[in-house]
Chain A
Amino acid sequence: MEDVILDVRGVSKSFGKNRVLTNITMEVKRGEVHAIVGENGAGKSTLIKALAGEYPIDGGEFILNGQPLVKKSVKDIQTLGLQVIHQNLNLVPSMTVLQNILMGDIPVNRANVVSWHTGREKALETLRMVSDKLELDTPVEELSAAEKQLVIIARAIINEPTLLVLDEPTARLGMEETQSVFRLIDKLKSNNVTMLYITHRLEEIYKICDRVSVFRDGEKVLTSAVSGITQSEMASAMLGKKVTDVIAENRGAVSADTLLEIKGLQYKNTVKNISFEIKRGEIVGLIGSVGAGKSETLDMIFGSVQPDQGEVFLNGEKLTGKDHQPVKAVQKGIAYIPEDRQTQGLVQDFAIRENLSFADIKSLSKHGAIIDRKKEKEAVDGLMEKLLVKPPDPEYKTSQLSGGNQQKVLIGKWLVNKYELYLMDEVTAGVDIGAKMQIYEIITDIADSGSAVLLATSDITEALYLCNRFVILHRGEVIKELDRADAEIEDILLAMMGGGNDEK
């Protein structure tokens, strides 16, 4: 029998009514590098947090090194040999690299006084495994995101884990740093460290992993040796039945009028030289995985983030300086539907009516000051019917609506008046299938009325269903532009993961 280091037995987890992990069963063999892949929201990160003891689970169990992990604290689980490198960069900014690396086990001398000196040698040795450049005494607040990522990796491996989980460790790294992380993984593997490797980049799996498990909608759909599966097969498993569900819908011809043009947009490390244009009546999909630069691109068009370089033209008019701010953008006809509806787009305590009407309250007012209740009622009633909000009561409190219905209200508030360009960021994230289809209908209506939509999404099925054209981003660059007619789902998925170029 092979030596199993981690045995996951029927693990389930829900957040409220939302089921995020369903009966996950998998084995991780000692000494292997095991990849976990899946779309956003497939349950990968939740599984890791549950494994690390940060979330309690509803059913099933984890057995690590022969010990069940039920109700053990984060610290206890770490003592059993698990270390997790999380996606987010949680370090203590005012402290040095040295102090952050040793945070989990602060060194003390005999008098119980903290003595960083004691741990210095080991910390340096560990740091050199991930980077030749970083210094131990630099305060972490002075480091770049990539450097912080390397410090977090060092913080995890200094405790000599037997099972190391890496949650997208290369998402923020450049080519060179990624290579050094791969070398590190090889080295750890030769020291018999087992690794769980979560990634969105399929090409990485072939370089460093032995086996791969594919997750979809909170379930594990398959586990296979990496040598026995192709990238396309992985992609199909990730997307599941949805691939065949997509009806190639060819929307009518689009006008030749260019509405928006962006040229050479650049922002820090996240967006590098992005250019494309959008015509009236068009739905353009801005596609890419997390960290590809989608949200940043939308922010720069809307003016909530100022680009370091590059230009934005709306109707041929260049937006710069004072003209390039959210308030002006709205006046010029740009509506922005952000990703985080809980905090950014809706006032949770307001009634649906109030949320629908406040964005355009001026046009619903008499003499520009007093709200015209009759006009407001007409507009709101019309929208409620169009949006099919459940329950159909405009006085219902927004916070009590389901995610999908909140999303409809968020889009609806920009439909009181017609805008020229709708920027949408992951509009259907966390929305159930029924509401999703209704939202798709609303988006199609917007485009049919002559406005344009720029739809940032990491859901390819959605993009295929809605868009005329796709702009695919990878690591902040436009890696491919495709027309709907030419697009195959696998092409898009591979381009998104940076793997498309290898196949050509």
Chain B
Amino acid sequence: MMRNKKISSFLNKYAVPIILLVFVLLIQAFNPGFHLLTWTNFQVILTQSTILGLISLGLSICVISGVTDMSIGGTVGLIGAVFAVSMVKGNGMVVSILLALVVSAVLYIIFTLLLAKSKYPSIIICICLMFICMGIERLYTDGKSIWLNNETVQTFATGNVIGIPNLVYFLIVLYVISYIFINHTKSGYKIRIVGENATAAVETGINLTKIRILAFGIAFALYWIASVLEPVRLGGSQLYAGQTYMLPAMAATFLGSSMITPGRVNLIGTLIGSIFMSIIMNFLTFLGAEFYFIPLVQGLLLLAGVALGTMRDRSIKQVPL
């Protein structure tokens, strides 16, 4: 009896990650040339996961507070472009990073004001902000990708400490901090309470607006870091880089919600989801898949993630037709 319960609780938490692992191993088995299991390739995948992982982390914190932030498709790209253009103009590392921070802060303030002070639906606010940012990005970069050609940056981006790529440290440190924040601090708990039952929060004296402002603040700080790291990793800012991360970040977040605490977005799930999505994207590149094939796969995985997540949420009732 006891043992059965333990097994079912284990499966409830880890069934999806196990399926994902088996899936990845199968890909490897049928494509011996993929070399996933070599440390070098895995380092590449982890580095790719860093950017996606940090964007997904910010998105997850928004979702936990009750708002699905779709604006990342535009904001991330714009912040990265501002950083890259500033670098190319010779402003230097520190100034460029701070400039990116200023842009993030402005976007954060606009986003928060619109969500907290207006009654417009959040999905519309997010989509508008996304396209506005994409437009500004295009104007700002003249519609071209910007290449950094900076040796220091390149050395940093490709370097590693005790075998772990430099960039991956950002991923590890920020996930640990965020995990502790969400699961072990008062404010973290309040963010979860607000996201799950806003009325309960109000009744127990939690200030809704304050908590959401805090959650979005953390998310935009993470977007800022991810947006600066993206051109550092690639050696430049690709046009509309943000858009290429929107679908996989949502897929990572919602795939993550089908594990660990099934039915609810959680940070460990998001991390596993991000690494999985990076492996899949890496694999698609390996196959030489056409560009249109990538969003197709990502969209299907997002759908699968949402389906698995809601299917396992006991609190969602089926409405019969």
Q: Are A114 and B189 in contact (CB under 8 A)?
A: yes
Q: Does A91 contact B (CB under 8 A)?
A: yes
Return A304 CB to nearest CB of chain B, in Å.
Answer: 8
Q: Are A103 and B204 in contact (CB under 8 A)?
A: yes
Q: Does A86 contact B (CB under 8 A)?
A: yes
A106 and B189 contact, Cβ closer than 8 Å, known pairs A93-B196, A93-B197, A93-B315: yes
Q: Does B199 contact A (CB under 8 A)?
A: yes
In the bound complex, how far is the Cα of B315 from the Cα of A95, in angstroms?
12
Return A402 CB to nearest CB of chain B, in Å.
Answer: 23
Q: Does B212 contact A (CB under 8 A)?
A: no
Q: Does A104 contact B (CB under 8 A)?
A: yes
Q: Does A54 contact B (CB under 8 A)?
A: yes
Q: Residue of B at shortest CB range from A91? A: B200
Q: Are A141 and B199 in contact (CB under 8 A)?
A: no
Q: Residue of A at shortest CB range from B196? A: A92
Q: Which residues of B contact A93 (CB under 8 A)?
A: 196-197, 315
Q: Residue of A at shortest CB range from B183? A: A114
Size bin of chain B's contact surface:
20 to 34
In the bound complex, how far is the Cα of B224 from the Cα of A35, in angstroms?
56
Q: Chain A contact residues: over half helix, strand or loop, or mixed?
A: loop
Would you list which residues of chain B between 183 and 221 have a CB under 8 Å from chain A?
Answer: 183-186, 188-190, 192-193, 196-197, 199-200, 202-207
Taking a contact as CB atoms closer than 8 A, the residue among A75, A78, A84, A92 that contacts B193 in the complex is: A92
Taking a contact as CB atoms closer than 8 A, the residue among B188, B200, B261 that contacts A90 in the complex is: B200
Q: Which residues of A contact B205 (CB under 8 A)?
A: 73-75, 78, 104
Q: Which residues of B contact A108 (CB under 8 A)?
A: 185-186
Q: Are B315 and A92 in contact (CB under 8 A)?
A: no
Q: Does A88 contact B (CB under 8 A)?
A: yes
Q: Does A112 contact B (CB under 8 A)?
A: yes
Q: Does A469 contact B (CB under 8 A)?
A: no
Q: Does B314 contact A (CB under 8 A)?
A: yes
In the bound complex, how far is the Cα of B197 from the Cα of A73, in angstroms?
19
Return B3 CB to nearest CB of chain A, in Å.
Answer: 20
Q: Which residues of A contact B200 (CB under 8 A)?
A: 90-92, 103
In the bound complex, how far is the Cα of B199 from the Cα of A104, in angstroms?
13
Q: Chain B contact residues: over half helix, strand or loop, or mixed?
A: helix
Return B133 CB to nearest CB of chain A, in Å.
Answer: 32
Q: Are B207 and A75 in contact (CB under 8 A)?
A: yes
Q: Are B185 and A113 in contact (CB under 8 A)?
A: yes
Q: Does A294 contact B (CB under 8 A)?
A: no
In the bound complex, how far is the Cα of B180 from the Cα of A155, in angstroms?
25
A103 and B184 contact, Cβ closer than 8 Å, known pairs A73-B207, A74-B205, A155-B204: no
Q: Are B196 and A94 in contact (CB under 8 A)?
A: yes
Q: Residue of A at shortest CB range from B194? A: A92
Q: Which residues of A contact B186 (CB under 8 A)?
A: 106, 108, 112, 114
In the bound complex, how far is the Cα of B200 from the Cα of A88, in angstroms?
9
Return A69 CB to nearest CB of chain B, in Å.
Answer: 14
Taking a contact as CB atoms closer than 8 A, the residue among B190, B193, B203, B264 that contacts A74 in the complex is: B203
Q: Which residues of A contact B264 (CB under 8 A)?
A: 94
Q: Mark B268-286, 1 if CB is under 8 A from A, else 0.
A: 0000000000000000000
Q: Which residues of B contact A90 (CB under 8 A)?
A: 197, 199-200, 203
Q: Are A88 and B199 in contact (CB under 8 A)?
A: yes
Q: Are A103 and B196 in contact (CB under 8 A)?
A: no
Would you list which residues of chain B between 152 and 198 have a CB under 8 Å from chain A?
Answer: 180, 183-186, 188-190, 192-193, 196-197
Q: Which residues of A contact B196 (CB under 8 A)?
A: 92-95
Would you list which residues of chain A between 68 and 96 have a CB under 8 Å from chain B?
Answer: 73-75, 78, 84, 86, 88, 90-95
Q: Are A91 and B315 in contact (CB under 8 A)?
A: no
Q: Which residues of B contact A104 (CB under 8 A)?
A: 204-205
Return A278 CB to nearest CB of chain B, in Å.
Answer: 26
Q: Mark A95-112, 1 if CB is under 8 A from B, else 0.
A: 100010001101010001
A92 and B192 contact, Cβ closer than 8 Å, known pairs A75-B207, A155-B204: yes
Q: Which residues of B contact A99 (CB under 8 A)?
A: 189
A114 and B199 contact, Cβ closer than 8 Å, known pairs A73-B205, A92-B192, A94-B264: no
Q: Are A91 and B185 in contact (CB under 8 A)?
A: no
In the bound complex, how far is the Cα of B314 from the Cα of A93, in angstroms?
10
In the bound complex, how far is the Cα of B188 from the Cα of A219, in angstroms?
43
26 contacts between A and B (CB under 8 A): A74-B205, A75-B207, A88-B199, A90-B197, A90-B199, A90-B203, A91-B197, A92-B196, A93-B197, A93-B315, A94-B192, A94-B264, A94-B315, A95-B192, A95-B193, A104-B205, A106-B186, A106-B189, A108-B185, A113-B180, A114-B184, A114-B185, A114-B186, A114-B188, A141-B314, A155-B204
Beyond A94-B315, A108-B186, 18 additional contacts (C-beta under 8 Å) are A52-B203, A73-B205, A90-B197, A90-B200, A91-B197, A91-B200, A94-B264, A95-B192, A95-B196, A99-B189, A103-B204, A104-B205, A106-B190, A112-B186, A114-B183, A114-B189, A141-B315, A155-B204
